[in-house]
Amino acid sequence: MKEIRFSIPDALADKFELAIQLTGDNRDQLAEAFVRDYLGKALQSAANEFRRPETPPEQSAKAAPPPPPRPDPPRGVPNHEKPPRPNAWEEWGKANQRIPRWARNPQQNNHKILRAFFELQKEMKAVTIDALRRRCSDPVGHPETYVPHFDNNFSQMKFDNGHSHGKVFEEHNGFINVWDRISDTLQRYRDYFL
């Protein structure tokens, strides 16, 4: 492993330390997931720029007109009439809202990873990250659970912040468990993944 160092403002570092204590997450796994997320986005953005076709001048003139501007939001609404802003802790568990959509879309990577997890759970009870990675990386033996960029997609399912897919899994000592915050929702839709 290679150690990478970077600096962040003191206040942000203090909040990060507090969050780690509250969640019990592993700082090295978090850092790896953040780097994977950044790499995935940066490389995808570069690939999109590379693939973007040039629009011929005759086609650009025929392009649809831009949408009308959105009206300005109302001003001067008293604070007591504004809807309450959700607490950061209440926002956790965004996978609860996404699981029903994943359940009905077997071509989606999240669906495939969950299907592989449930298959392995039936076969061996305790699921390891290595077994899940092998299952999702086998296009011939397990095409229904094949995920081309497994590590990037799986890491997006271990965090609930930022642009992650939503936290579904927790990893401890190489074993994977379903995060208790979304466990009930996932169990309700379990049959869709099998």
Listed residue (108, 71, 93) closest to 179, CA to CA = 93
Q: Say if CB 154 and CB 32 are below 8 A apart.
A: no
How does pLDDT run across 164-176, given as a tens digit for each residue? 788 899 998 889 9
158 part of a folded domain? yes
Give the C-alpha separation, 18 to 16, whole Å: 5
Give the C-alpha separation, 101 to 106, whole Å: 10
141 part of a folded domain? yes
Q: Which of 42-56, 59-73, 107-121 has the highest mean pLDDT?
A: 107-121
- Residue 166 belongs to domain spanning: 91-193
Residue 137 pLDDT class (50, 70, 90 cuts): very high
Q: Is the pLDDT of residue 59 over 80?
A: no
33 part of a folded domain? no
Q: In the β-sheet with 169-172, what is the strand arrangement from edge to edge?
A: 127-128, 175-178, 169-172
> Which tokens go with 14?
């203090």
Residue 66 pLDDT class (50, 70, 90 cuts): low
- What lies within 8 Å, CB to CB, of 86 at 6+ separation is none
How does pLDDT run across 4-54, given as a tens digit for each residue? 887 888 888 888 787 777 777 777 777 777 777 777 777 776 666 655 555
DSSP-assigned states of every residue in 26-87: -HHHHHHHHHHHHHHHHHHHHHHHHHPPPPPHHHHHTSPPPPPPPPPPP----GGGSPPPPP
36 part of a folded domain? no
Structural domains in the chain (count): 1
73 part of a folded domain? no
pLDDT at 120: 93
Give the C-alpha separation, 86 to 91, whole Å: 7
Q: Say if CB 89 and CB 83 are below 8 A apart.
A: no
107 part of a folded domain? yes
Give the C-alpha separation, 177 to 56, whole Å: 52
- The model scores a pTM over 0.75: no
Residue type (1 letter), 42: A
Give the C-alpha separation, 40 to 68, whole Å: 33
64 part of a folded domain? no
